[in-house]
C-alpha cells in the first residue's frame, strides 16, 4: 500500500495522483526505471570490501553504507563521503585517473570497471511497472526526462531499450561538465526541468534514494514520489516525498 504524507492541514488525498495532469515527469534511473541499483550495490560492495581489506579500514563496509553515503550521489562524491565516514582522506585526483590510482577519482573509476563488466555480461531489464507508467505518460503526451547521478545512464538506457523514450537525459557526465552539484542539492533536477521546458512546481519527480528525494524536494517540485526499493518508506517521507510506492505500476490509472 502506498504511504502518503499528510498536507500541512493534516488531510490525506483519497486517491493516487494522475501523473498525466502534470506538465512533466522526471525519473531517476537506477532503482526507479531499472534494477541497476542492485548492480551498483554489488559493484560498490566488491570494490570497497577489497579496498578496506587492503588498507585495513574499519569498521567493514555494510549495505547501510550504500544507502547513507553512495546511493543517488555522483560517483566521486560518494567515494569521498564514504571514505570520510571512516576518517580516511585521499587526494581527489582527476576523472582521467586510472582505476589503479589511490585517489577519489581512481577509486570511483575502479568501481565503474566492475559495474560495466556486470552490465555487459548480464544485461538489464526495466521494471515492468515502470514501463507501464512510461507507456501511459507517453500515450497522454506528458513530457518525461531522466535525472541520474550515474555516468553510466546512457549505457543503461540503451541496454534496457529505453533510449528513444527520453528527449532529456541529465546524467553524471553532464552534471560534471556543467559543474552541477550532486544530489541532495537541487541542481540536476532543476536543470533537467529547464531542459524539458517545465516549471518544477508544475512537474513531478520520482526517486528511490534519500538524496534524490531531498534533491527534488529542494527543487520545489509539485509532487515528489518515493519508490521504496529497500531504503524504507518512512525514510523517504522524512526526506520530503509526498507519497511512497513500492512499484510504479501502482500509479498507472
Catalytic residues: 28, 30
Find out whether the peptide bond into 44 is cis, omega within 30 degrees of 0.
Answer: no
Contact residues for 124 (Cβ-Cβ < 8 A; gap 6+): 34, 35, 36, 39, 156, 159, 160
Parallel, antiparallel or unpaired: strands 144-147 and 223-227: unpaired
DSSP code per residue over 169-211: EE-HHHHHHTTPPPTTSSHHHHHHHHHHT--GGGEEEEESSHH
CA angle 96, 98, 99 (to 5 degrees): 125
The Cα–Cα gap between 104 and 71 comes to 16
27 and 144 in contact (C-beta within 8 Å)? yes
The Cα–Cα gap between 232 and 226 comes to 10
The residue written with cell numbers 560517483 in the block is 75
HEC string of 206-250 equals EECCHHHHHHHHHCCCCEEEEECCCCCHHHHHHHCCCEEECCHHH
What's the distance, Cα to Cα, between the start and end of the chain in Å? 15
203 and 26 in contact (C-beta within 8 Å)? yes
Amino acid at each position: 500500500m502506498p504511504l502518503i504524507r499528510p498536507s500541512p492541514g493534516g488531510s490525506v488525498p483519497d486517491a493516487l495522483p494522475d501523473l498525466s495532469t502534470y506538465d512533466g515527469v522526471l525519473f531517476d534511473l537506477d532503482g526507479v526505471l531499472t534494477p541497476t541499483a542492485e548492480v551498483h550495490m554489488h559493484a560498490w560492495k566488491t570494490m570497497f570490501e577489497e579496498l578496506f581489506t587492503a588498507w585495513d579500514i574499519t569498521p567493514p563496509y555494510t549495505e547501510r553504507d550504500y544507502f547513507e553515503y553512495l546511493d543517488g550521489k555522483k560517483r566521486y562524491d560518494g567515494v569521498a563521503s564514504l571514505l570520510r565516514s571512516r576518517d580516511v582522506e585521499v587526494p581527489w585526483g582527476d576523472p582521467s585517473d586510472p582505476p589503479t590510482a589511490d585517489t577519489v577519482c581512481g577509486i570511483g573509476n575502479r568501481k565503474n570497471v566492475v559495474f560495466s563488466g556486470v552490465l555487459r555480461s548480464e544485461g538489464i531489464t526495466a521494471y515492468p511497472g515502470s514501463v507501464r507508467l512510461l507507456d501511459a505518460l507517453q500515450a497522454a503526451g506528458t513530457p518525461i526526462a531522466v535525472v541520474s547521478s550515474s555516468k553510466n545512464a546512457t549505457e543503461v538506457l540503451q541496454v534496457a531499450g529505453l533510449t528513444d523514450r527520453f528527449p532529456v537525459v541529465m546524467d553524471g557526465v553532464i552534471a560534471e561538465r556543467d559543474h552541477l552539484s550532486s544530489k541532495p542539492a537541487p541542481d540536476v533536477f532543476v536543470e533537467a526541468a529547464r531542459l524539458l521546458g517545465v516549471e518544477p512546481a508544475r512537474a513531478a519527480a520520482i526517486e528511490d534514494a534519500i538524496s534524490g528525494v531531498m534533491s527534488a524536494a529542494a527543487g520545489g517540485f509539485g509532487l515528489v514520489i518515493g519508490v521504496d526499493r529497500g531504503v524504507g518508506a518512512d525514510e523517504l517521507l522524512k526526506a520530503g516525498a509526498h507519497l511512497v510506492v513500492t512499484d510504479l505500476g501502482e500509479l498507472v490509472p
